[in-house]
Structure 1
Amino acid sequence: MALIEKLKEEQKSAMKAKDKTRLGTIRLALSAIKQREVDERITLSDDEIVAVLTKMVKQRRDSIAQYEDAGRQDLADVEQSEITVLEDFMPQPLSDEEVAALVTSAVTEANAQGMQDMGKVMGILRPQIQGRADMGVVSGLVKTKLS
């Protein structure tokens, strides 16, 4: 089943279960997907939908950090519950060993010699890792590998 259909089915289930948090989060996700489709006049593939969901999770993590710094744990908890719902629709995260193996193979595949080849390596890794690992951590691993 395509990811967009899965989101719509879960939206119906959340309506029937009267789960307001889940329903609201799914509606936000569907709205963000629809907005991108309208803006770019395209139909998003599952990979592009995962990219939208990844961006939403990243925004919520940033918000959690800001709320916790301001002492607003109640708002941070709301954001955390939204992350939990969004992660249900994302691919399984990669383990640290799997990420390290992918980085090593990408460095070999790109025939990278130094930091000037980091863009090539990240270009190879991005489609494989998108939504399954934190790109900041992956970037740090690549930098370490190329140094």
Structure 2
Amino acid sequence: MDLRERLADETKVAMRARDAERLSTLRLMAAAIKDREIAHRGEAGVDSALTDADLSALLAKMIKQRQESARAYEEGGRLELAAKEQAEVALIQEFLPRQLDPAEVDAAIEAAIAATGATGLRDMGAAMNELRARHAGQMDFGKAGAALKARLMQQGAG
């Protein structure tokens, strides 16, 4: 079952259960996906559809936005709003692939370096593209990029 079908099914379940908070977040997700599809149509032509990797990237972006909002609410003493944002994060994460643990991220970085033949920082872009292609939605690419850079700097120096 693809992501759109799963989202539609979960929305129906939430409606039947009269779970207003869950339904609200599911509808936000559906609206964001619809907006992205409309924008994509304008960019790439009528026939090109979004892939699950594109949708995973969109959901990961939504999670990052909510985490930043929760942090801002906590700093401002608005704990009830921070809790709502964290609940939305948890729900959105249900639709993403399983996140890789740190050891798996390290192994993925090594595999990307091997696949691209990266030997130094100048090859970082190719290695990051390889990581994104193979592990979309499965890791924080900000952290993975920093780890990749450190590994390539170590490799280039050694």
TM class by smaller structure: over 0.9
What is the number of equivalent residue pairs in this alignment? 147
1:127 is displaced (CA, Å) by: 1.8
Question: Which position in structure 1 is the counterpart of 2:83?
Answer: 77
1:108 is displaced (CA, Å) by: 1.6
1:75 is displaced (CA, Å) by: 0.8
- Deviation above 3 Å: which 4+ runs of structure 1? none
1:68 is displaced (CA, Å) by: 1.2
Distance in 2 (CA, whole Å) between partners of 1:143 and 1:39 is 32
Distance in 1 (CA, whole Å) between partners of 2:50 and 2:118 is 32
Question: Residue 51 of structure 2 aligns to which amino acid in structure 1?
Answer: S
Question: Which position in structure 1 is the counterpart of 2:17?
Answer: 17
Distance in 2 (CA, whole Å) between partners of 1:122 and 1:3 is 25
Distance in 2 (CA, whole Å) between partners of 1:107 and 1:39 is 33
Question: Which position in structure 1 is the counterpart of 2:29?
Answer: 29
Stretches of structure 2 that go unaligned for 5 or more consecutive residues are 42-47, 154-158
Distance in 2 (CA, whole Å) between partners of 1:56 and 1:112 is 31
What CA RMSD, in Å, does the superposition of the two structures yield over aligned residues? Answer: 1.0
Query: What are the within-5 Å matches in structure 2 for residues 128-139 of structure 1?
Result: 128-139=134-145
The TM-score normalised by the length of structure 1 is 0.95
Question: Which position in structure 2 is the counterpart of 1:54?
Answer: 60
Distance in 1 (CA, whole Å) between partners of 2:12 and 2:30 is 12
1:128 is displaced (CA, Å) by: 1.9
Determine what percentage of the aligned residue pairs are the same residue: 41
Question: Which position in structure 1 is the counterpart of 2:156?
Answer: none
1:112 is displaced (CA, Å) by: 1.3
